[in-house]
Amino acid sequence: MGTWQAEAEKERLELRAKLHELLHRLRGEPNTLLPFHQALALRPQGEHHLGLRTIEVDRIVGSVDRYEDFDRRFLPKTPHTLERWKRLRALQLAGVELPPIEVYQVGEAYFVKDGNHRVALAKTTGQKYIDAEVIALEVPVPVEPGDTLKDLILKAEYAHFLEKTRLKALIPEAEEIRFTALGRYDLLLDHIATRRYFKGLEEGRPIPWEEAVADWYRTLYRPTVEAIRRLGLLKDFPGRTEADLYLWVMDHRHFLAQELGGDPGPEEAARSYEARFGPFWKRVAGGLKDLLKEPLRRIC
């Protein structure tokens, strides 16, 4: 009876996996497990064994070496994984207790070291918890269960930035700097290097890298973000972050400095950016305001 039921469930599972794959393709969404090697790009600073723990199945998001055999929901994708799933399901239906799995914990998420098929079985049968031998990695930017592969790559870039700048060590109260597009942290490193160069010219001395990092954060990044918050600019650009807007406003500030012949500062740069690139109705309102001011200038 158990073998027959497992076979029937396997056939439904195969159909379900194909349907999910089709839906994800139509939506243009990723449908893959997170690879553990991408988590290693987060610059782990150590690891320690937590021993046998009961963990939430929903927080298992990736695999060390079998991430191509399962989809985002841990549904088996290949004939071999489906057959293996069926055998485990038959054992489960027969009352056999399966051994604990082995996982790496990275932030709030888990990556399977051993027991991928057992995880697939747990997820597809609605199991909420599973026993696991847990090895925790200490990372500067933790992974969360809802992260996509792009999120993981972005966090790896942020980890590299933190390692390069030592920002958290230099300024413990420094807030997180998160982007929605790849390659942006390299631009921040360019900002720091530029600030270092000009500060050296201003003060007539070589500026240590650590001093340049702290100075960039305190005189450029934080004042610009504070101006963005005061103006409520973030709500005009849904889906973006303060760090995204910081780069845009800084580029606009450079443009204004050339246009006006002097640095307008973070507040005026942010206000001007909103007027030129914000929602259509704000740009129209800004244009009408300028038109109303023009007759007054002529009278004066």
**pLDDT of 55-78, one tens digit each?**
999 999 999 999 999 988 899 988
pLDDT digits (tens, 9 = 90+) for 186-243: 999 999 999 999 999 999 999 999 999 999 999 999 999 999 999 999 999 999 999 9
Does residue 1 carry a pLDDT above 80?
no
Locate tokens 């597009």: which residue? 181
Give the closest residue to 109 by CA, choosing from 63, 168, 65. Answer: 63
State the span(s) of the chain assigned CATH 3.90.1530.10.
2-137
Q: What's the pLDDT at 161? A: 97
Q: Are strands 47-56 and 129-137 parallel, antiparallel or unpaired?
A: antiparallel
Does residue 164 carry a pLDDT above 70?
yes
Q: What is d(CA 189, CA 223) in angstroms, rounded to the nearest whole number?
A: 18
CA dihedral of 134, 58, 141, 224, whole degrees rounded to 10: -170
Strand ranges (E), 13-59: 34-35, 47-56
Q: What's the pLDDT at 282? A: 56
pLDDT-based confidence at 166, cuts 50/70/90? very high
- Tokens standing for residue 74: 């841990």
Does residue 270 contact residue 231 with C-beta atoms inside 8 Å? Answer: yes
pLDDT digits (tens, 9 = 90+) for 15-38: 887 888 888 778 887 788 999 999
Is the CATH number 3.90.1530.10 carried by domain 2-137?
yes
Does residue 71 contact residue 17 with C-beta atoms inside 8 Å? Answer: yes
